[in-house]
Amino acid sequence: MRTLLCTALLAASVAAPARAGQWLDLSIVDRDTGATLPTYADRGRLYVAGTPGHRYAVRLANRSGGRVLAVLSVDGVNAVSGQTASPEQTGYVLDPGESTEIAGWRKNLNEIAQFTFTALPDSYAARTGRPANVGVVGVAVFTERAPPRPRDEIAAQAPAPAPAQSKQAPAAEAERALAGAPRAERLGTGHGAREYAPVGTTAFERASSRPAETVTVWYDSYANLVARGVIARPVAQDEPRPFPGAFVPDPPAR
């Protein structure tokens, strides 16, 4: 597929990414607070804690000097086409150094349906019969095929090394480690209100049929990530403290 969606450039500065790949940085932004969600590392994965009912956006930043294609999957669903996600599908094209926020499911070239954190049964994936992959955001990143060069130039240059693939813990191993952890209803991504978010189209020829890298972040509610052990359980503030003061005061008069 050669005709793909092209995002608009963000003028605002980009906050620290949730996950930095070789080609692309990915982070999750809570649109109701404006905050970039902090990440928590656990068993080779990165997690963010979403707030039920809040809108969010996937912030992407092209780290390379060329155009890249970002095929965005939310809960196992392509965020542009609505298909069960696969890397060979359509996505967003970012210019060199460009950053953008994808804030919803693409409805047409002018509108999106907002991404919202919601209970798993209310997620778009579950409502369309695909609940198995709720709770993960992934981007398959493709570099662009370079235009043909003169034969003498090709002969004079050594071939460039292949881009490194992102390393992730085996999914099965991570799932076994989390199996049986007590938690409430999992968090998913809902199909929210319509919003004006225009894009254009452009041609993009992939340098390879396989992604240069895949960048992934998992998400759930704060309470569930605490229950899983991803986030350290907070210490209750009313517990006795061994060193609450600096010096010994006089006792009150009787």
pLDDT digits (tens, 9 = 90+) for 111-133: 999 999 999 999 999 999 999 99
Residue 215, domain member (yes or no): yes
The backbone torsions φ and ψ at residue 172, rounded to the nearest 5 degrees and listed phi first, read: -60, -40
Q: Tokens 């656990």 correspond to what residue?
A: 42
Residue 158, domain member (yes or no): no
Both tokens of residue 8? Answer: 């608009």
Residue 186, domain member (yes or no): yes
Residue 205, domain member (yes or no): yes
| Cβ pair 125, 189 in contact under 8 A | yes
Residue 77, domain member (yes or no): yes
Measured from the Cβ of residue 12, the count of other Cβ atoms closer than 10 Å reads: 7
Residue 153, domain member (yes or no): no
Total count of domains within the chain: 1
Q: How far apart are CA 173 and CA 181, in angstroms?
A: 14
DSSP sequence for 66-124: S-EEEEEEETTEETTT-SBP-TTS--EEE-TT-EEEE-EEE-SSSEEEEEEEEEGGGSH
Q: What global pTM score does this model have?
A: 0.76
pLDDT digits (tens, 9 = 90+) for 168-226: 333 344 444 344 444 578 999 999 999 999 999 999 999 999 999 999 999 999 999 99
Q: How far apart are CA 70 and CA 79, in angstroms?
A: 11
State the pLDDT confidence band at 242, using cuts at 50, 70 and 90. confident
Residue 208, domain member (yes or no): yes
Tell me how far CA of residue 138 lies from CA of 85, 146, 206, in angstroms: 10, 25, 18
Which range, of 5-14, 55-64, 230-239, averages the lowest pLDDT?
5-14
State the pLDDT confidence band at 91, using cuts at 50, 70 and 90. very high
Residue 85, domain member (yes or no): yes
pLDDT digits (tens, 9 = 90+) for 22-71: 899 999 999 999 999 999 999 989 999 999 999 999 999 999 999 999 99
The whole domain housing 85 covers: 3-146+177-228
